Amino acid sequence: MLLIRSNLWQITGICIFVVIHCILFTIKSTYKMKIAIGNDHAGTEYKLAIIGLLKSMHIEVINHGTDGTDSVDYADFVHPVAKDVEEKKADMGIIICGSGNGVSMTANKHQKIRAALCWNTEIVMLAREHNDANILSLPARFISLPQALDMVKTFLNTQFSGGRHERRIEKIPCH
């Protein structure tokens, strides 16, 4: 009798595990990641290529950037990206200008934003792992297009490592 009861509990546990796994798989397979993207005139070429990459990865894109090369003010295109990430309308953001500095400074004015100006995949990985960066800032005039695409892939595929880094990022916002 004890053996039958033990086997029943094992079978019940396996069934519960399978059901939970199926539910989680269904949720994950129906969820579509959203990325907000913004750029000034210096980042148009890169933005268009990045949008192509994101769409090939079945990622939804919210485009706040200019599609032209006429001079524009980056802040007009960055604040909507930061707002989308802040309000969870987008999972992450990508912002692009000539140096990456102006767009990064603008995005970081938002309390819940951690925009990281990156120039190689190692910096991108560290920004995600250690700083939980939620916006990637790219300097279009200082990196090649293939580098930018690799950096976007790294940004999307690197998870925050938490641990001791969690308490550090909790101290970033001004209260």
**pLDDT tens digits along 58-78:** 999 999 999 999 999 999 999
Give residue 165's pLDDT band: very low, low, confident or very high (50, 70, 90).
confident
> Residues 127, 116: contact at Cβ < 8 Å?
yes
Mean predicted confidence (pLDDT) in 83-95:
98
> How far apart are the C-alpha atoms of 140 and 113, rounded to whole Å?
21
CA-closest candidate to residue 82, choices 34, 41, 133, 135: 135
Question: Does the active-site annotation cover 22?
Answer: no
Identify which has the larger pLDDT, 69 or 9. Answer: 69
Provide the whole-model pTM: 0.82
> How far apart are the C-alpha atoms of 110 and 77, rounded to whole Å?
14
Buried b vs exposed e over 59-76: b needs ≥16 C-beta within 10 Å? bebbbbbbeeeeebebee
DSSP assignments along 63-101, one per residue: E-S-SS-S---THHHHHHHHHHHHTTSSSEEEEEESSSH
Question: Does the active-site annotation cover 130?
Answer: yes
pLDDT at 124: 98
Give residue 169's pLDDT band: very low, low, confident or very high (50, 70, 90).
confident
Among the listed residues 41, 64, 97, 118, the single catalytic one is 97
One-letter amino acid for residue 39 of the chain? N
Q: Provide the percentage of residues in the chain whose pLDDT is more than 90.
A: 74
Name the token pair of 164.
């001791």
Among the listed residues 130, 165, 174, 175, the single catalytic one is 130
Mean predicted confidence (pLDDT) in 143-160:
97
